[in-house]
Chain A
Amino acid sequence: MFKVVKRKELAPIEFEIFVEAPRIASKAKPGQFVILRIDEFGERIPLTIVDTDPETGLVRLIFQVIGKSTAQLATVMEGDCLADVVGPLGKPTEIENYGTVMLVGGGVGIAALFPIVKGLKEAGNRVITVLGAKNKELLILTEECRAYSDELILMTDDGSVGQKGLVTQAMEEVFAKESIHTAWAIGPSIMMKFCTMTAQKHQVPIYVSLNPIMIDGTGMCGGCRVTIADNIKFACVDGPEFLGEEVDWDEFISRMQQYRPEELRANEIYEKQVNHHGQG
């Protein structure tokens, strides 16, 4: 059992938890993830490791409520335990001194981007970070990213903070005035696809972190397979980071929808249960 020692609501429907998992905390590197299962009926869901503290053995995770399991995870309180947490999984980001790098995060993807921002800054890069979200409330970790960025650009759909517009606009502004060696983009798949197209236009390599459906997360089922440069790869062991220009985006986006009816059904049943108990 893995104890949740701290929990915080970061934004409407976005939560942060610190889980006691000393082995993972001592091994995790930027870019890696865990798979967790809330209880014995639970499914295995992947979440990126945002931060770790090897001394206290804590692993920091951030998630957005998007369905049944994440809604249930949001009800896990300080002192409660998760049945299973396994990791660190996946290949770490290749952290080195590239020169000037651009990091683009969207929505809850910012949580997955932050450890890479931090790692690249600590490796001596000039770091330009672009963060985007629907509105001010959903734009998370801005101050933490600022601490590890030479320049921070904030974008919101409604202009409630930073500039109004999409992260790709900010990318264009950066490309206009800076010579970027390598870029990263983490967020919704459609955002990563467009970030890739923008970077390609400027001939800058861009890494994306793919978040396909996963089960075991250890390479034994191929549920998370993605087509990378016309080859089948398993995101859990070969990734989750890949070069954006090599990803078959349409296939990736389509595979994300595979269980849409079942996901909606599970969520509906869960909401009914919660409401029922709420009234009782």
Chain B
Amino acid sequence: MAKAKRSYTKTPMKEQAPEIRCHNFEEVALGYSLEEGQAEASRCLQCKNAPCIANCPVMIDIPGFIKAIEEGDMPKAHEILGRYTNLPAICGRVCPQEKQCEMVCRLGRSKKFEPVAIGKLERLVADWALEQPIEYKEVVGEKGKVAVIGSGPSGLTAAGDLAKLGYQVTIYEALHSPGGVLTYGIPEFRLPKRVVNKEIERIKAEGVTIETNVVVGKTITMEEIMEQFDACYLSVGAGAPNFQGIKGTSLNGVYSSSEYLTRINLMHGYQFPKYDTPVQESKNVVVIGGGNVAMDAARSAKRLGAENVSIVYRRSLAELPAREEEYHHSVEEGINYHWLTNPVEYIGDDNGRLVAVKCVQMELGEPDDSGRRRPVVIPGSEFIIDADTAIEAIGQGANKVLLDTFPELSLNKWGYIDADEETCATSIPGIYAGGDIVTGAATVILAMGAGKIAANEIDQYVQNKKMQEQSV
């Protein structure tokens, strides 16, 4: 029988309807069935020198695992993915594939066709694998001991790879649950916590130990870690919120996106009072920023019952840094946008509660250092948006808790760790660093890529050190 004609468009994925999903925290995208996955897999051209591989930060053999899906061989597809990534269920969901693997897909480069839905196929395989029984491996760890500080995507990747290489790995995490931004930042409706927990359980099954409630620098010091371990990977992220610092920032009702999302995701604030941590009930919400975090905060506010949720962004849609898919989801869910708008003041009532956000209109001027046109204030354009809640999602900086207690470590001019991008090596031998604490806030997959590099470099470092010690 002749092969079905290759579809021009991606096989669609079922989603919860917008009018239903904007009242719940359940996952929006429901995943492919095996048949849907096979149909999508058959669109892949199986390129030699596939460009998608080179554009994946962890260089997954994409045509390889897609071929296995097409053949219906899920164990093989999973085995191939597992060689490159420890967190496929997460990356399949949250990677900006349109800017990575799918951007260079040869099928997608031809005018008529959409690229292969690589992310959705990765998710299909990973979700299948999460339903399979976990085999716990006996930890030997004969090659050495490595400490990983922070259990976000970068730390989990490095830890998983180091365990596979034969190391005894301990992850220290400050919060009570591991996962970093996967747990406290990205909401349930994009990344279910049961998926995160299962993926972390698989990394533990490789022999990785995770100790929660340990703030390195406070609960244990870097000196103690350097005494007890052969090497260390610092992957503490960029978790300190920035505030614009405009008038009224400390009014009740003004949040950092980190606080708002932590209350909801880590503390289950959306299930208050079953869970003890409250989140403010709101009617009118203004979210400041244009990244994925702003989308997450706005869509969460809507789900908590807010009637009007607006995103205020100082540039225009063309410059929006958020994922296109998330932007579309937010529009479907009724989020309003104020383009070319910047807040200048939070206005409160006599009780110190926020009642409105004063904004100004902007226009785009000359390009700035980043190549984007710089927004300039239009004089006399001030206007007011009623708001009982405002959420600033304008980015994060380096958290100084660990760094302040470890002044020996060199930082760059932005306060991030000065580490070699090629090797993750820092100014101190045996201490490696990667992810957002080196690059500033970036993506999950870039953090994972750094974790992979670090694992290999740490392996080489520890083995070289042991050989030198033996020869002495």
Contacts and interface: CB of A to CB of B under 8 A. Distances in A.
Q: Do A and B come together as binding partners?
A: yes
A37 B220 CA distance: 20
A225 B401 CA distance: 16
Contact of B219 (A27, A84, A220): A27
Contacts of A16: none
A87 B277 contact: no
Interface in A44-101: 44, 68-69, 83-89
Contact of B176 (A68, A83, A222, A225): A83
Given A27-B220, A232-B245, A266-B273, 5 more contacts: A41-B274, A215-B277, A218-B399, A225-B250, A265-B273
Given A43-B277, A85-B213, A220 B399 contact: yes
A259 B241 CA distance: 21
A88 B218 contact: yes
B423 interface: no
Given A86-B176, A86-B219, A221 B400 contact: no
A153 interface: no
B404 to A, nearest CB: 9
Contacts of A220: 239-241, 258, 262, 399
**Interface bracket on B:** 35 or more
B276 interface: yes
Given A23-B219, A86-B176, A43 B267 contact: yes
Contacts of B256: 221-223
Contacts of A254: 252, 351-352
B401 A215 contact: no
Interface string B199-243: 000000000000011110011100000000000000000011101
B216 to A, nearest CB: 10
Contacts, number: 118
B401 A237 contact: yes
Interface string B244-277: 0100011011011011001100011000111111
Nearest to A225: B250
B175 interface: yes
A184 B402 CA distance: 28
Contacts of B259: 215, 221-223
Given A43-B276, A84-B212, A266-B278, A216 B175 contact: yes
A140 interface: no
B174 interface: yes
A257 interface: yes
B258 A262 contact: no
Nearest to B392: A222
A219 interface: yes
A84 B211 CA distance: 11
B280 interface: yes
Contacts of B240: 219-220
Interface string A225-237: 1110000100001
**Interface bracket on A:** 35 or more
A41 B263 CA distance: 12
Nearest to A83: B176
Contact of A84 (B213, B253, B255, B400): B213
Given A232-B249, A254-B352, A258-B252, A88 B219 contact: yes
A269 interface: yes
B154 to A, nearest CB: 16
Contacts of B258: 220-222
A87 B220 CA distance: 10
Contact of A24 (B219, B255, B400): B219
A257 B278 contact: no
A254 B352 CA distance: 6
A143 interface: no
Interface of A: 23-24, 27, 37, 41-44, 68-69, 83-89, 215-216, 218-223, 225-227, 232, 237, 248, 250-251, 254-255, 257-259, 262-263, 265-266, 269
* Residue with the highest number of chain B CB atoms closer than 10 Å, among A41, A68, A216, A258: A216
Given A215-B277, A263-B278, A265-B273, A86 B174 contact: yes
Contacts of B352: 250-251, 254-255, 257
A219 B400 CA distance: 8
Contacts of B400: 219, 237
B73 to A, nearest CB: 39
Contacts of B255: 223
Interface string B136-176: 00000000000000000000000000000000000000111
Nearest to A232: B243
A100 to B, nearest CB: 32
Given A86-B176, A221-B259, A251-B250, A23 B220 contact: yes
Given A215-B262, A255-B252, A263-B278, A222 B213 contact: no
Contacts of B277: 43-44, 215
Contacts of A237: 400-401
21 contacts: A23-B219, A23-B220, A24-B219, A41-B274, A42-B275, A42-B276, A44-B267, A68-B276, A86-B174, A86-B215, A218-B401, A219-B400, A220-B239, A220-B241, A220-B262, A254-B351, A262-B272, A262-B280, A265-B273, A266-B276, A266-B278
A227 B262 contact: no
B218 A89 contact: yes
Given A219-B240, A257-B252, A41 B213 contact: no
A237 B240 CA distance: 11
A232 B219 CA distance: 26
Contacts of A219: 239-240, 399-401
A72 B214 CA distance: 24
Contacts of A251: 250, 352
Contacts of A42: 275-276
B215 A218 contact: yes
Contacts of A69: 276
A149 B318 CA distance: 67
Contact of A215 (B250, B252, B267, B272): B267
A255 B278 contact: no
Contacts of A250: 352
Contacts of B272: 262, 266
B248 to A, nearest CB: 10
Contacts of A41: 268, 274-276
A68 to B, nearest CB: 6
Contacts of A223: 255-256, 259
A142 to B, nearest CB: 31
A42 B268 CA distance: 10
Given A69-B276, A254-B352, A221 B262 contact: yes
A68 B273 CA distance: 10
B219 A215 contact: no
